[in-house]
Structure formats: structure tokens, C-alpha cells
Amino acid sequence: MATYSVSAEALPGVARRMAENPAIAQEEPEKIARELGITQPIPNTFIYRVVVIALSAVTLLALACTVLLALTETSNANGTREMFLQPITFLGSTALGALAGLLSPGPNS
């Protein structure tokens, strides 16, 4: 959800006009936005940063666990190494793909 910066001086006049004629918001939204001083939405980057940090942590943790499992000399008689390695690889590759999708520029950039 975007947060908008609104001019406090213009708010009473626009609110009064919209109370008198509620259809004005549909008829002239650009004019009302200009009067209120709304130019661009202020992006909420906190959630974006939290998601990027979490996906980065999952990717790095999966990489560390994969290297640790590869370096340890455990018995592979029952396929226990693959049993642990497959889900870790799955989580790491999924997190890395999601991270790439979040950090790549969009089509409008």
C-alpha cells in the first residue's frame, strides 16, 4: 500500500467540494490530485527490505548447509545425505530465484 504526501492547506477546500459533489472524484481525479499536491506515491520500502534480507539469509544458509554436508564424511548407505541435501538445495534455489525476481528491474524501469 502506497503512502501519499498531501498538502494540508488544500485539504479543507477539496474536502468541502467533494462533500458538496461526491461525483467530482470520478470526474476530475487528476485535478484533485494536483490541488492536494499529490505527485508520486512514497514507496514503503521497509517490507521490501525485510523480504530481501530474509531471502538472502535463506539462500546463504542453504549454501552453507550444502557445503557443510558435502564436506562431512557421513555414511551414505541409506541415502541420508541426499535426503537432507535435496530439500536444502530446493529451498536455496527457490529463495535465489525469488531474490532475482525482486531485484531485477521491472519493464517500466
State the Cα–Cα distance between residues 56 and 72, nearest whole angstrom: 24
pTM (two decimals): 0.55
Residue 96 has a pLDDT of 93
Per-residue pLDDT of the chain (109 residues; tens, 9 = 90+): 455 555 555 566 767 777 777 777 677 777 777 777 766 666 778 888 999 999 999 999 999 988 888 787 665 666 677 778 888 989 999 999 999 998 888 777 6
Helix (H, G, I), strand (E, B) or coil at 3: strand
State the Cα–Cα distance between residues 86 and 106, nearest whole angstrom: 31
Residue 55 has a pLDDT of 94
Closest CA to 89 of 55, 66, 56, 61: 66
